[in-house]
Amino acid sequence: MDPSSYTHSLLSFVVVLVLSTPLASSQLDYKFYDSTCPNLTNIVRSGVWSAVANETRMGASLLRLHFHDCFVNGCDGSILLDDTSTFTGEKNAGPNRMSARGYEVIDAIKANLEKSCPSTVSCADILTLAAREAVHLAGGPFWSLPLGRRDGTTASQSAANQQIPSPSEPLENITAKFTSKGLEMKDVVVLSGAHTIGFAKCSSFKQRLFNFNSTGKPDPILGSSILNDLQSTCPNQDSSDSNLAALDLVTPNKFDNVYYKNLLNNSGLLQSDQALMGDSNSAAMVNNYIKYPYLFANDFGASMVKMGSIGVLTGKDGEIRKNCRMVN
């Protein structure tokens, strides 16, 4: 990418907003609920707004919930299904347990939707819409969404464990997980920009602070100032595992391009964040998003539509759940 792509991005930004994007699954439809649930956008927006007004972090949590839904058997609301005595779902998979959050917010939005348009809007679409509203509310971009996803009737804890990227695996492995979903390395770089908001538990990055790659030492790339700060947030004992650190230490609640700026001075929180600088192609994209914030905003919307189209159920497949926590 070169600076001339800025002009191109201005054009494509308008195109993404006005026309349907070619990245979207052709079975999804930008007008899907226009006649069956005309107030859908307002209802989701107001549910996200109240949740974020109560707790700022919730916007980030909703964004992550959509990602973890889409990467496991497609965007089918599977992450929302509760475990029962006969059913093991995704909520207690490694990447989600004690970490994925926002389920009550989705429940509240669903309950409101059931009043206005019963058995009409899928939980998978609610997740998609809530993620977009959360980004916009945090000062990030807004994009048009094709809708019409249907809810799955099953979930897979083992798929969640295997397919959701881990913060300690190398960039090539993360890229391979994205590629297996029809995404590419560019989407890894763009969507990692979601880490411009939200928080991580010490357990997600603590080995970088004390025992990086089994060396018994901190990750040498961490500067002494950020290392000291993080070590005081996350002392080297199990009791600190659930303490939190901001993924973007400079503007943790604002959806901007500062996440990428932090990578330039080795202040990425997760190993997988900083790893974007370890490859010349991804590092070039990072530098471009620092230079052209508008390009990041535009590309983020496009990659979200792409991610939101992974493995969707449409037509007569799946169902419209009445309660997002259980199949009908």
Residue whose structure tokens are 């807004």: 142
d(CA 12, CA 188): 20
Residues in the chain: 328
Options 1, 27, 201, 229; binder of ligand HEM; rule CB under 6 A: 201
Using CB under 6 A as the binding rule, the residues of this chain from 81 to 100 that contact ligand HEM are 99
Q: Does 36 bind ligand NAG (CB under 6 A)?
A: no
Tell me the helix, strand and coil percentages in the chain, rounded to 5: 50, 5, 45
Q: Does 208 bind ligand HEM (CB under 6 A)?
A: no
Q: Does 11 bind ligand NAG (CB under 6 A)?
A: no
The site partner of 298 among ligand HEM, ligand NAG, none (C-beta below 5 to 8 Å per kind) is none
Which pairs with CB-CB distance under 8 Å and at least 24 residues apart come from 110-113?
A: 110/323, 110/324, 112/43, 112/47, 113/37, 113/40, 113/43, 113/44
| DSSP letters for 242-301 | T-EEESSSSSTTS-SSHHHHHHHTT--SSHHHHGGGGSHHHHHHHHHHHH-HHHHHHHHH
- Give the Cβ contact number of residue 267 at 10 Å: 22
- Give the Cβ contact number of residue 328 at 10 Å: 10
Nearest distance from C-beta of residue 192 to ligand NAG, angstroms: 16
Q: Does 191 bind ligand HEM (CB under 6 A)?
A: yes
Q: Which is nearer to ligand HEM, 66 or 110 (CB)?
A: 66
Q: Does 250 bind ligand NAG (CB under 6 A)?
A: yes
Q: Does 103 bind ligand HEM (CB under 6 A)?
A: no
The site partner of 110 among ligand NAG, ligand HEM, none (C-beta below 5 to 8 Å per kind) is none
The site partner of 190 among ligand HEM, ligand NAG, none (C-beta below 5 to 8 Å per kind) is none
Options 3, 22, 118, 223; binder of ligand NAG; rule CB under 6 A: 223
What does the block give as tokens for 236? 């080297």
Q: Does 143 bind ligand HEM (CB under 6 A)?
A: no
d(CA 182, CA 173): 15
Question: Phi/psi at 302 (nearest 5 deg)?
Answer: -65, -40
Using CB under 6 A as the binding rule, the residues of this chain from 48 to 67 that contact ligand NAG are 51, 54-55
Q: Which is nearer to ligand HEM, 113 or 295 (CB)?
A: 295
Strand partners, 245: 200
d(CA 59, CA 69): 16
| DSSP letters for 220-248 | TTS-HHHHHHHHHHS-SSGGGTT-EEESS
Q: Does 136 bind ligand HEM (CB under 6 A)?
A: no
Q: Does 255 bind ligand HEM (CB under 6 A)?
A: no
Q: Does 265 bind ligand NAG (CB under 6 A)?
A: yes
Size of the site for ligand NAG (CB under 6 A): 19
Q: Does 272 bind ligand HEM (CB under 6 A)?
A: yes
Q: Which is nearer to ligand NAG, 267 or 282 (CB)?
A: 267
Active site amino acids: 68
Q: Does 262 bind ligand NAG (CB under 6 A)?
A: yes
Q: Helix/strand/coil (H, E, C) string of 77-108?
A: CHHHCCCECCECCCCCCCCCCCCCCCHHHHHH
d(CA 120, CA 103): 19
Binding mask 5-44 for ligand HEM (x = CB under 6 A): ----------------------------------------
Instruction: Give the residues lining the site for ligand NAG (CB under 6 A).
Output: 39, 42-43, 46, 51, 54-55, 169, 173, 213, 223, 225-226, 250, 258, 261-262, 265, 267
Instruction: Give the residues lining the site for ligand HEM (CB under 6 A).
Output: 57, 60-61, 63-64, 67, 99, 101, 165-167, 174, 188, 191-192, 194-195, 197-201, 204, 247, 270, 272
